[in-house]
Amino acid sequence: MTDKLKIGIIVGTTRDGRFADRALEWFEGKIAARDDLTYEVLDLREVALPFYDEIAPPAAKPVTDAAAQEWEKKLGECDGFIVLTAEYNHSIPATIKNAFDYAFKGWHRKPIGTVGYGGVGAARAVEHLRMIAVNFGMVPVRGAVTIGGADFVKASKGTPIAELGDHLDAPTKELLDDMVFWGRAAKWAKANV
């Protein structure tokens, strides 16, 4: 299987002045350099899902909200996802949880990776997100990028992420390689099992 996989890059925070825009700009350069992946940015600020208010979970009954229906359709077009996330109160931002709650089929049996940023590189948020993803039958990949500690402080003060050094290159490559491996495996399994 040599087809390019389409990866949805989910920008998980929506607040003004978010660090996510810096992380996205840097990460887009990394993923765009690959010849085995294409991507689409899925910015939760632009999706503008309402706070979850459906009569039943999407696994049991289709959602009724028009924005949520479009969200489910958009997720269905992707072969996997990479979530750019901060850590809010030792977990993921509510916008990410809400985005998961509003869909099911679009997430199901696809790989998910993370680019976490913050004081501890969003480590606790990433682990929480992995547990949520398992509920959707997703494959949380081992590879992950963490922008934390001194790197996060420098980047927060204006240093471009690309200028932090090459130590983020290896985890970025591992993340993208894992997305290709598990994305192809999941796509093949869904077509043949």
Q: Tell me: pLDDT of 23 over 70.
A: yes
List pLDDT tens digits, range 43-66: 999 998 999 999 999 999 999 999
Instruction: Give the mean model confidence (pLDDT) for residues 12-34.
Output: 96
Give the per-residue pLDDT at 3.
84
Give the per-residue pLDDT at 96.
98
C-alpha 24/C-alpha 86 separation (Å) is 12
User: In this structure, are residues 7 and 39 in contact, taking their beta carbons and an 8 Å threshold?
Assistant: yes
Instruction: Give the mean model confidence (pLDDT) for residues 125-138.
Output: 97
pTM: 0.96
List pLDDT tens digits, range 152-190: 999 999 999 999 999 999 999 999 999 999 999 999 999
> Can you tell me which residue has the tokens 């989910």?
10
Q: Tell me: pLDDT of 2 over 80.
A: no
For the chain, what is the mean pLDDT?
96
Cα angle vertex 62, ends 61, 68, to 5°? 140
Give the per-residue pLDDT at 171.
98
Domains and CATH numbers, the chain: 5-192 (3.40.50.360)
Q: Tell me: pLDDT of 101 over 80.
A: yes
Instruction: Give the mean model confidence (pLDDT) for residues 16-35.
Output: 97
Q: Tell me: pLDDT of 144 over 80.
A: yes
How far CA 134 is from CA of 83, 110, 153, in Å, comes to 15, 10, 32
